[in-house]
Structure 1
Amino acid sequence: MLVTLRAKLAYLAMPKTGSTAIEEAFAPHCDIIMSKNPAMKHMRLRKFERFMRPLLNNSGATEIETVAIIREPIDWLASWYRYRGRPELDGHPNSSKAMTFETFVFEYLSERPAQPARIGRPSKFAQPTDAGVGLTYLYRYDRMESFSAFLSDRVGTNILPDRVNVSPSRNVDLSRAVRLRLENALTADYELYESAL
């Protein structure tokens, strides 16, 4: 989570959407940088509105807008699968190395997912508050150039994220039946993705 007071903007870093690359490019222009602790780095909208918004308002930093990026839901899930299959996690409970992608998907969709598949939902990350406060802006991961142009315009200098923290390549093929089941389960996430800029 990054906040620039001058540009009145808070970037909420949804996991697996290029957040590390964005942080490297955008953080030098920010006043508040939360990056080490995953719970702080990947602060959800509701948590931001509950805890950070009052702090900012009480400090005179009012009218801060929020922005996030969303990835195509199955591509997002595949990125998690690849990321949790990296060698550094060998032997760790979060490792997906021993799973096929279909097994990972079945676990993700189950009521009690195995540890590697406990990763939440994009729609939960961006869920509006009970008062109806949602993200001000939401960009698509596959339109990163639009997001970069947006950030650049807000801070008055070019913000061009590089590709970093790229997950290893793995087979992420799904049968048609499993893909359809997953798409149906991710309806809210697809609606959010389709609504993004």
Structure 2
Amino acid sequence: MLVFWEQRLVFLATPKTGSTALAVALESLASVSIQRPPVLKHTTVQRYHRFIGPYLKVASGHDFTTVALMREPVDWLGSWYRFRRREDLLDENASTRNMSFDDFANAYCETPQPGFANVGAQSRFLTPPGRQPVDRIFRYEDIGTFVDFLEDRLNCEIILPRLNVSPEADLALRPETLVRLQHKMAEDLALYSEIGGGTAR
């Protein structure tokens, strides 16, 4: 999470959407940068509005605009699968090294989800039911539009490094698994569709 005080702007770091590269590029411009532990780095919009937003408003006398990225949902899940295949992953119970992406996707669809597939949902991070959503959501796949937005708001050129890249892996899914996954991720897919064409929501 990054807070830009003068610009009244807060970047909420949706997991698996390039937040590490953005933090490296923007940290020197931010008034507040929270990069660890992960539970704070990836503060959800609901926790932001409950704990952090009110403090910022009292301290500054202004509301802050929240922004975040969203990744195509199936690709986002594939990123989690690849991330958890890393050799340096310390928690063996979270590892996906000994399974296919199809196995992982089916596990994600289970209720309850096994620990290795319990990775949340972008819709709950960005637009929790009955709660205030992120003000502006941009597509990860069109990150250039987000960078243009930031360059305009922060009045500087932004060059993103390539960091924290997960190992390559086969992300093939059986047709029946894809149908099941689309049903499970219906809220995420609908939200992603609403964003549309790389424009802000």
Does the TM-score normalized on the shorter chain lie above 0.5?
Answer: yes
How far apart are 1:146 and its partner, in Å? Answer: 0.4
2:144 is aligned with 1:140:
no
- Structure 1: any 5+ residue segments left out of the alignment? none
Corresponding residue for residue 188 of structure 1: 187
* Identical-residue share of aligned pairs (%): 34
How far apart are 1:128 and its partner, in Å? Answer: 4.2
| Cα 1:108/1:129, change in 2 over 3 Å | closer
Structure 2 Cα separation of the partners of residues 99 and 148 of structure 1: 36
RMSD value, Cα? 1.3
Structure 2 Cα separation of the partners of residues 163 and 189 of structure 1: 26
How far apart are 1:58 and its partner, in Å? Answer: 1.5
- Any idea what the Cα deviations from partners look like across 1:37-93, whole Å, max 9, x if unmatched? 101000000000000011101111522100000000000000000000011026621
Pairs aligned (count): 196
| Cα 1:43/1:91, change in 2 over 3 Å | closer
| Cα 1:90/1:42, change in 2 over 3 Å | closer
Corresponding residue for residue 111 of structure 1: 111
- Any idea what the Cα deviations from partners look like across 1:81-128, whole Å, max 9, x if unmatched? 000001102662111101111111111111122221110000100124
Structure 1 Cα separation of the partners of residues 17 and 86 of structure 2: 17
Structure 1 consecutive aligned stretches of length 4 or more whose deviation exceeds 4 Å? none
Query: What SS is found at the alignment partner of 1:125?
Result: helix
TM-score for both structures, normalised by structure 2: 0.93
How far apart are 1:136 and its partner, in Å? Answer: 1.2
CA contact (8 A) 2:109 2:180 kept: no
Corresponding residue for residue 80 of structure 2: 80
CA contact (8 A) 1:128 1:135 kept: no
| Cα 1:47/1:129, change in 2 over 3 Å | farther
CA contact (8 A) 1:14 1:68 kept: yes
Corresponding residue for residue 176 of structure 2: 177
Corresponding residue for residue 31 of structure 2: 31
2:71 is aligned with 1:71:
yes
Query: What SS is found at the alignment partner of 1:20?
Result: helix
2:60 is aligned with 1:99:
no
| Cα 1:156/1:129, change in 2 over 3 Å | farther
Corresponding residue for residue 160 of structure 2: 161
TM-score for both structures, normalised by structure 1: 0.95
Query: What SS is found at the alignment partner of 2:52?
Result: helix
Structure 2 Cα separation of the partners of residues 61 and 110 of structure 1: 45
Q: Say which is worse superposed, 58-67 or 90-99, in terms of deviation.
A: 90-99
Corresponding residue for residue 52 of structure 1: 52
Structure 2 Cα separation of the partners of residues 182 and 113 of structure 1: 13
Structure 1 Cα separation of the partners of residues 24 and 90 of structure 2: 27
CA contact (8 A) 1:126 1:135 kept: yes
| Cα 1:44/1:174, change in 2 over 3 Å | same
How far apart are 1:166 and its partner, in Å? Answer: 0.5
Query: What SS is found at the alignment partner of 2:88?
Result: helix
Letter in structure 1 aligned against 2:120? G
Letter in structure 2 aligned against 1:53? G
How far apart are 1:129 and its partner, in Å? Answer: 6.5
Corresponding residue for residue 18 of structure 1: 18
